[in-house]
């Protein structure tokens, strides 16, 4: 099993990506488990932020790292929340526990999205995942894979699974919101699944 540092401390993202990479022989280790702080994400595109995070983690661990920068892009909002998806709504941190705070943030983000879409006729959107992998911090040839998962924003939360905007993202081809999907179905259709499949193809072609 080849170890790959994941430039994230999001436990749910780690679980999703681990399920996608483990069958190919990769063990993902969250950077927080190695004492690596999170990188700044000052950029306006997914690819720039993912590259910054991957390089930061690779430099700190002196080895290979992979980063995912992902979010929701809503057409009626000009692509918002985009790279600001995780922190779309302003939320003061009152919970010391990371996952409880993330749940508070998710709830606030969903409320803000619904508020901004009130009266909108067009509710098309897509989840976007951009994965960047580097062999080392100064790798001149980072691998880049992008997955897009189109759907529509519903008018009320549906489902208890997933995280983030999953309860609002309806997938017409599956007839359910992402939060209503079981883990296996999500992992075989999602934006991260599409990006991971492409990333594994690139890694097998260029890293081995």
Instruction: Please tell me the distance from the alpha carbon of residue 10 to that of residue 86, in angstroms, as a whole number.
Output: 11
In sequence order, the 6+-apart residues with CB closer than 8 A to the CB of 151 are: 124, 125, 126, 127, 169, 170, 171, 172, 178
Q: Is 69 among the catalytic positions? A: yes
Q: What angle do CA 171, 173, 179 make, to 5 degrees?
A: 30
- Copy the structure tokens of residue 137: 């911090």
Gap between the Cα atoms of 153 and 95, Å rounded: 28
Given 40, 68, 69, 166, the catalytic residue: 69
Which pairing describes strands 169-171 and 176-177: parallel, antiparallel, or unpaired? antiparallel
Active-site residues: which are they? 69
């Amino acid at each position: 099993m080849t170890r790959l540092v994941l430039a994230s401390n999001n436990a749910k993202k780690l679980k999703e990506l681990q399920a996608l990479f483990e069958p190919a022989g990769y063990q993902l280790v969250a950077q927080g488990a190695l004492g690596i702080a999170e990188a700044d994400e000052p950029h306006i595109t997914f690819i720039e932020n993912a590259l910054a995070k991957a390089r930061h983690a690779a430099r700190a661990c002196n080895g290979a790292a992979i980063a995912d920068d992902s979010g929701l892009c809503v057409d009626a909002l000009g692509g918002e929340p985009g790279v600001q998806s995780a922190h779309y709504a302003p939320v003061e941190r009152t919970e010391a526990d990371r996952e409880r705070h993330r749940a508070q943030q998710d709830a606030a983000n969903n409320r803000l999205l619904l508020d901004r879409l009130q009266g909108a006729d067009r509710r098309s959107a897509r989840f976007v995942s951009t994965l960047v992998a580097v062999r080392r911090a100064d790798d001149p040839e980072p691998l880049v894979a992008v997955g897009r998962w189109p759907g529509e924003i519903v008018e009320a939360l549906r489902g208890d699974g997933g995280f983030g905007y999953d309860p609002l993202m309806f997938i017409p081809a599956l007839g359910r919101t992402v939060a209503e999907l079981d883990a296996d179905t999500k992992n075989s259709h999602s934006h991260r699944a599409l990006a991971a499949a492409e990333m594994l193809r690139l890694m097998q072609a260029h890293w081995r």
